A and B are shown apart, each in its own frame.
With several copies, the nearest count.
Chain A
């Protein structure tokens, strides 16, 4: 099968429900749809906002590669990845990954794999804006994210 692959890099909010619904309707043999939504957090009230900077062009290419790789590794009917850039407040969705397959493990593993690789390969950077009004720091990359991405190596 040729999976339906949708990748969008945008500043606008996304409609997770509509994206999940669209992949759920890719035919009568879709048996499993997994979705992951990542949100901007306040970190216990410490943060007022996050600003996401990205590398246009390269962001699309990198997400495109990881989605293509996922559709090679697992039998998928469709994958949707939306990653936002710009300023976001706590509760705003930052990233959405949706995968549809006949089988549970394929849809789960593909979504998990895509998120692990996005974290370490997609050129996005988060800057913090503190609730006290001061300008914040750039969020540090976590070494645990590299470890999570490593687990998919064959």
Chain B
């Protein structure tokens, strides 16, 4: 029996977030205590130097859940794919 319940998520990273993390995507098991995008970013920061660097200024990292833009306080319940990336510079 596990004392902490976990849910599996696909995370994808773009631009300098991808470069800093060193991965373009990964599957992670996130503790059920992590409820929002901001909490997920905070939890990722604890996973190592590369994550700490990528999320050192969480205010400028943007997120999308299932390919839709979300705010930091968005719930991650039901998410299958969560993306983190810098502000967009297309066009």
Partners in one complex: yes
Evaluate contact between B85 and A123: CB separation under 8 angstroms.
yes
The reply to whether the CB of B4 lies closer than 8 angstroms to some CB of chain A is no
A residues neighboring B (CB under 8 Å): 38, 52-55, 57-59, 61-62, 83, 94-95, 104, 115, 118-127, 138-141
Evaluate contact between B67 and A125: CB separation under 8 angstroms.
no
B residues neighboring A (CB under 8 Å): 12, 14-16, 18, 64, 67-69, 83, 85-91
Residues of A within 8 A of B90 (CB): 52, 54, 59, 83, 94-95, 118-119, 122-126
Evaluate contact between B67 and A138: CB separation under 8 angstroms.
no
Evaluate contact between B89 and A139: CB separation under 8 angstroms.
yes
Evaluate contact between B69 and A125: CB separation under 8 angstroms.
no
Contact of A125 among B12, B14, B64 (CB under 8 A): B14
Evaluate contact between A115 and B91: CB separation under 8 angstroms.
yes
Residues of B within 8 A of A57 (CB): 67
Residues of A within 8 A of B83 (CB): 55, 58, 123
Minimum distance in angstroms from B70 CB to a CB of chain A: 12
Secondary structure of the A contact surface, majority rule: mixed
Minimum distance in angstroms from A136 CB to a CB of chain B: 12
Contact of B64 among A83, A94, A123 (CB under 8 A): A123
Residues of B within 8 A of A83 (CB): 90-91
Minimum distance in angstroms from A28 CB to a CB of chain B: 19
A125 to B68, CA, bound (A): 17
Evaluate contact between B88 and A125: CB separation under 8 angstroms.
yes
> Taking CB as reference atom, which chain B residue is nearest A32?
B91
Residues of A within 8 A of B64 (CB): 55, 58, 123
Contact of A138 among B12, B15, B68 (CB under 8 A): B15
Residues of B within 8 A of A125 (CB): 14-16, 85-86, 88-90
Contact of B14 among A119, A123, A139 (CB under 8 A): A123
Evaluate contact between B86 and A123: CB separation under 8 angstroms.
no
A55 to B10, CA, bound (A): 14
Evaluate contact between B14 and A55: CB separation under 8 angstroms.
yes
Evaluate contact between B88 and A141: CB separation under 8 angstroms.
yes
Contact of A55 among B12, B16, B87, B91 (CB under 8 A): B12
Residues of B within 8 A of A140 (CB): 87, 89
